[in-house]
Structure 1
């Protein structure tokens, strides 16, 4: 966690502050030799992918006093004594949380979202607004961070199961016999039917490619959609030669 109001310093920035080249600072792991215990990394203990971050104000103070013994250095204290295990009373809306801390914050706030569901949300494209996590507030070397407030506001307004306009039967629906037809599927089928009407002589292979491209589906899905469209319009299947 990056506590609210703090400026994160990367390895590159730390090397700059201490007047070392990035490669030397990184390869020699100088943070282990230069930093006293009062300087705690912001990255989460146990993280699979570590992006090392420290508080810039602390590093600047240390760089200015590094000739002094550790016990004589006056290093600013972070607002949270232990940023990796803050107390609920110390939480701030502007705390920046990584992907795991983000779910933990949602869970602690009473959200019903499971960790598996959250992992699915964060793996989806940003343009899938109904089914993706909020856009990160900060990204550092490929690691995403969200303000605590961003997450809690998103959770209050996110759609539940069956509430998305692209969902099938709504949760609790008593109609369990009808097909789970989604608006997206209807639109794709209508597009295929329109193609058949507009270009009835277009080879099937080209129709499949056109449907796959315009409807963002695989060729196999496009072929299935095309077969269904033909059946709806009462059109015969193409000849074996045409299938090739």
Structure 2
């Protein structure tokens, strides 16, 4: 769990702060030598998590102590207590954030991550991933506590597949959010203006949204564009998609093309 107010760091970021390779950092277990350094990851998680603020303070103290030939006297900033709606939770912690009566099994919860019928909201933060063609690859995803709890409010009650009392018809769909529609339109506009150079980072800065949100908007804009291109040219190729959307990896372009064809078929 990453408490609200903490800048998260993993082994790679820690190694960069201390000026060593990540392999050296892990082999020497340097984190165990820093008195007061708190590990934020839950037991059993695959990634060690630290407070970047604590790491920076520890590094500064080690440099000071080295300059005067002393042993470091660590006085690290405290880590805020957890419990805030804006704490960042990994996938398993997100499940535990739900009331016990609302929890499913862990395998079922994991299936919700990329599910089609029941699907978790997109993560609020990714640590350690790399951007490739506007999508984050690798790393670890985190959700704010409030994101999971808000999503759960709209989830059907267990035992009632529809989430509605028997005999009650489904209500009308929610009206579109004007701000969301404006952002989608702006993403489409920027993609048309800069088809080969637009990145999620550029889009996020233009719209003032979180990078994860910008990635989703850019992906949606690319999909819309390919759907439109398919109407004019049903024989569109992955190479055409790369040229028109700025994707660098042919596999990503092929996936986008397949999704566009499926979306076009579903709408007919």
**Hey, what's the Cα distance between the residues in 2 that align with 1:171 and 1:118?**
25
**Hey, what's the Cα distance between the residues in 1 that align with 2:96 and 2:29?**
30
Q: Is the 8 A contact 2:54 2:76 kept in 1?
A: yes
What number of residue pairs does the alignment pair up? 151
- Helix, strand or coil at the partner of 1:74: coil
| Distance apart, 1:143 and its partner CA | 2.0
- Helix, strand or coil at the partner of 1:106: coil
Q: Is the 8 A contact 1:2 1:42 kept in 2?
A: yes
| Distance apart, 1:95 and its partner CA | 0.2
| Distance apart, 1:42 and its partner CA | 1.1
What corresponds to 1:241 in structure 2?
Answer: none
After superposing on structure 2, the runs of 4+ consecutive aligned residues of structure 1 that deviate more than 3 Å are: 170-173
**Hey, what's the Cα distance between the residues in 2 that align with 1:28 and 1:153?**
42
Residues 73 and 31 from structure 1, CA distance in 2 versus in 1: closer, same or farther, beyond 3 angstroms? closer
Residues 27-46 of structure 1 aligned to structure 2 (within 5 Å):
27-33=27-33, 35-36=34-35, 38-46=36-44
What corresponds to 1:103 in structure 2?
Answer: 95
What corresponds to 1:193 in structure 2?
Answer: none
Residues 82-231 of structure 1 aligned to structure 2 (within 5 Å):
90-107=82-99, 112-116=102-106, 117-122=108-113, 124-125=114-115, 128=116, 130-141=117-128, 142-160=139-157, 161-163=160-162
TM-score computed with the length of structure 1 as normaliser: 0.54
| Distance apart, 1:104 and its partner CA | 0.9
In structure 2, list runs of 5 or more residues that go unmatched: 129-138, 168-260, 264-268
Q: Tell me which structure has the larger Cα radius of gyration.
A: 1
In structure 1, list runs of 5 or more residues that go unmatched: 81-89, 165-169, 174-212, 216-244
- Helix, strand or coil at the partner of 1:139: strand
Give the RMSD, CA atoms, in angstroms.
2.7
Match of 1:61 among 57, 60, 65: 57
TM-score computed with the length of structure 2 as normaliser: 0.50
| Distance apart, 1:103 and its partner CA | 0.9
Q: Deviations over 1:77-124 (max 9, x none)?
A: 1112xxxxxxxxx510110011111111112xx6523234423312x3
- Helix, strand or coil at the partner of 2:102: coil
Q: Deviations over 1:186-235 (max 9, x none)?
A: xxxxxxxxxxxxxxxxxxxxxxxxxxx969xxxxxxxxxxxxxxxxxxxx
